[in-house]
Amino acid sequence: MNMQLIQLLALAGIAIYLILKLRGVLGTREGYEAPRTSTTTPETKRKKFEVIDGGSDLDISDHASEDSDVGRALLAMKKAEPSFSVTEFLQGSKGAYEMILMAFENADLESVRAFLGDEVYDAFSSVVGDRESQGLTVEAEFIGVRETGLMSASFNSKNNVGEIDVRFVCELSSVVKDKNGKVIEGSETEIKRQRDVWTFSRKMGASDPNWQLVATGE
């Protein structure tokens, strides 16, 4: 099993849980918005992401200008780890997003501990702990990720650590119940739209294929 496939499985393996956004931990959440018709063409599936000498790396240029700081950072990551695919990373990140999100909602952070940086884990744990101390529970249903986009990327050549910021827009429904089972926030029938920007980090070329969530924002 090659490193690229292992990374995909690891990222997809990050994804099963979370939702009620508590400001400062997760992104913004709005009332339901009818999905907009995308003006972009569907992602072209490419079996290989080879760079032809003097040519463009479509795996990079599909997501960022190769002449930009983001493009140069992605190129440096691919040089440090030739099997790395930006397109497949983004596909896997959607599964990771759902999995970590739902783990947070279900107060089951230990199931995704390997995929959370220490600061993110501590922040999520604090919120879950506060919720439990008040006798509150969350019941949520993840509808799906509607939009995903690469926002930024950076690469530290001194330690080979790459970081990628990914924007997610998802739809979900959730309610918060008190210890008596009474709904005190949300609606089981109302679909909310939530926006997040998550930062994933990994040492390129390392034997550990796991990317970690190291920052959250909106």
> Over the stretch 158-193, which tens digit does the pLDDT of each residue have?
999 999 999 999 999 999 999 999 999 998 889 999
What local confidence, expressed as pLDDT, does residue 56 receive? 80
Mean pLDDT, residues 197-212: 96
Question: H or E segment at 5?
Answer: helix 3-12
CB 78 within 8 A of CB 162: no
Characterize the bridge pairing of strands 28-30 and 161-177.
Answer: unpaired
The whole-angstrom separation of Cα 155 and Cα 93 is 18
Q: What is the CATH number of domain 3-32+82-217?
A: 3.10.450.240
CB 195 within 8 A of CB 28: yes
Burial of residue 37 (number of CB atoms within 10 Å: 0-12, 13-18, 19+): exposed
> Over the stretch 66-87, which tens digit does the pLDDT of each residue have?
999 999 999 999 999 999 999 9
Q: Which two tokens stand for residue 150?
A: 């690469």
Percent of the chain topping pLDDT 70: 75
Number of other residues whose CB lies within 10 A of the CB of residue 193: 19
Mean pLDDT, residues 97-105: 96
> Please, which pLDDT band fits residue 218 given cuts at 50, 70 and 90?
confident
Q: What is the mean pLDDT of the chain?
A: 82
> Over the stretch 17-67, which tens digit does the pLDDT of each residue have?
333 333 344 545 454 333 333 333 344 344 444 444 556 899 999 999 999
CB 58 within 8 A of CB 65: no
> Please, which pLDDT band fits residue 3 given cuts at 50, 70 and 90?
low
Domain residue spans of the chain:
3-32+82-217
Q: What is the pTM of this model?
A: 0.77
- Strand partners of residue 173: 141
